[in-house]
A and B are shown apart, each in its own frame.
Chain A
Amino acid sequence: MSALAELRGVTRTYGEVTALAGIDLDIHDGQVLGLLGPNGAGKTTTLSLVSGLIRPTSGSVRLFGRDPRDAAARQHLGTTPQQTALPETLRVREVIDFVGGHFAERVPTGELAEEFGLADLLKRQTGALSGGQKRRLSVALAFVGRPRLVLLDEPTTGLDIDGRHVLWEAIRRQREAGASIVVTSHYLEEIEQLAERVAVIAGGRVVADDDLATVIGSVGTRWASLQSPEAARIAALPQVAGSRIDGDRVELSLRDADAFVRDLVATGAPFTELQLRSATLEEAFLSIVRGEAA
């Protein structure tokens, strides 16, 4: 796997504020990388560096082996404007043609519009689009130049569940067609749906960077919930790492789920509605970020 973009020892400060404090990050070909972090952790700064909008204070940023501030380095890069950014008086077709005109190899406007559900809106001025339509147009623009690398900063913020699923499908199809993607999101479910690899940025540093499954697994536990009149006794079993009891209902984090189930049955305590599940990315993320803060 070759790196499409590389950040090496990158520090970026804004006056007194340090946004990034020496991060190393490789963006590989053929991956969807989810970039996570609390607000102000440096995600947008990272994307701005890769797209050549800002210079690192120190360290080096390479895009396709070149300086991203060199326009030619960005020929195979796709980015999205924020939805509020679209020029209101231009029509959808004009915006796509304008952006597409920058690329040597571009997707025809009709084809792109079809792909992102904009075919009926081509004559509409962007100021007249709904929030969801603007989002779809913004994301579509990232793909008009047949990019090898696409940066999506909060692609579905403000969309309803339907709109989000439509956009995820479109992004997945683009991924299958060969685009590598970096996505940031407030919705961890979105990252779980789309990403194969996850990097967590907190306090200006990369604090985790691995496969999605490994990052989730790093929390190291499975979770169980059940109903029982003897909740307190069950919560005291040896495999239980933590518990939350609410009347008959108990939620448990477990060291070894299989051993826990054997113990539970052996106690003879009555129980119903036993559910076992893995930790979610959200739980993994919170535990990683808290671990850093501690």
Chain B
Amino acid sequence: MTTTTTAPARAAASAVSTAPGLGLVRLGLLHAKYLLLETVRVPMAVIGPIVFPALSFAFFILPQRGLVENPTGAAQAVIQLMVFAVMVNALFSYGLNISQARETPWEPYLRTLPAPAGARILGQMLSVGLIGILALVPLFLMGAFFTAAHADAAGIALGFVALVLSSLPFVFAGIAIGYALPFKAAIAVIQIVMFGLAFAGGLFLPPMMFPDWLDAVSRFLPSREARELVIWAVQGGEVPLLELAGAAVWTVALLVLALVLYRRDEGRRYR
């Protein structure tokens, strides 16, 4: 009996060195597991993406009966908080992980282990992605059960694609903050950026409640642009060209900033 149970275990163990593809997935999952463990033990990194959006929904959206009972308006409200959740997750996960990794030589140590570089990156994508999904689920359920929000299946599918794409500026902003600042400063800056972008971008209160001047400023923020693009993906209507252009500019600008800060950091590390 023991021989039959240990043989597959042996085979699985030897797969580490003989099947690089399988090994990569296995190691990616291993890294994801311990990255998640590390993340859940920094309370802000979990409260930020998962609790804030759900709480905001409960405080800002649910009390507004007029909004909740309007299928289009309620769907928009769910979407804006989903954008908020994705934004917070990207800012926190990348910003905190990177600034922390820069302060300790743990990452370079991990690179001496027998794992290809892809395993770490895969692990990071899996852990950030899982927290992102966990953040979206309560919003989706609250929207479905407590509001009249309506969207068809194709709209929801397109919406998720738009959500992933429009999160890119926040991923790059998180990376930039991670490389620019030490851990403690990064926590503070991320919170300021997060709340600023959320309020001014219409992710808490819908922009239709904004005074005109704020509405005008808001259209130049990546958070507002992401909101409008995802709403367009789900509900259709006129192509929001201004927002599309703005989001593209933010994405490229923040990518360049992230790359510049990354290169500066490498130079410093190998002084």
Interface residues of A, Cβ cutoff 8 Å to B: 14, 51-53, 71-75, 77, 79-82, 84-87, 89-90, 94, 98-99, 101-105, 125, 145
Contacts and interface: CB of A to CB of B under 8 A. Distances in A.
Interface string B34-46: 1001100110000
Contacts of B16: 75, 102-104
Contact of A90 (B17, B37, B111): B37
A98 B104 contact: no
Nearest to A78: B112
Interface size class of B (residues with CB under 8 A): 20 to 34
B38 A90 contact: yes
A217 B249 CA distance: 69
A82 B105 contact: yes
8 contacts: A53-B111, A74-B112, A81-B105, A87-B38, A89-B38, A90-B34, A102-B115, A104-B13
Looking at chain A's contact residues, is the secondary structure mostly helix, strand, loop, or mixed? loop
A54 to B, nearest CB: 8
Interface in B74-113: 104-106, 108-109, 111-113
Nearest to B29: A101
B116 interface: yes
Contacts of A104: 13-14, 16-17
B112 A52 contact: yes
A72 B104 contact: no
Contact of B104 (A14, A84, A103): A84
A89 B114 contact: no
B17 to A, nearest CB: 6
A101 B104 CA distance: 21
Interface in B32-61: 33-34, 37-38, 41-42
B65 interface: no
Nearest to A51: B112
A292 B111 CA distance: 35
B42 A89 contact: yes
A51 B33 CA distance: 25
A202 to B, nearest CB: 21
Contacts of A79: 109, 112
B106 A98 contact: no
Nearest to A19: B270
A105 B38 CA distance: 25
Interface string B173-199: 000000000000000000000000000
B27 interface: yes
A249 B33 CA distance: 65
Contact of A102 (B41, B42, B105, B113): B113
Given A85-B106, A89-B41, 12 more contacts: A53-B111, A73-B114, A75-B17, A80-B109, A84-B104, A85-B105, A86-B104, A87-B104, A89-B38, A98-B33, A102-B113, A104-B13
B34 to A, nearest CB: 5
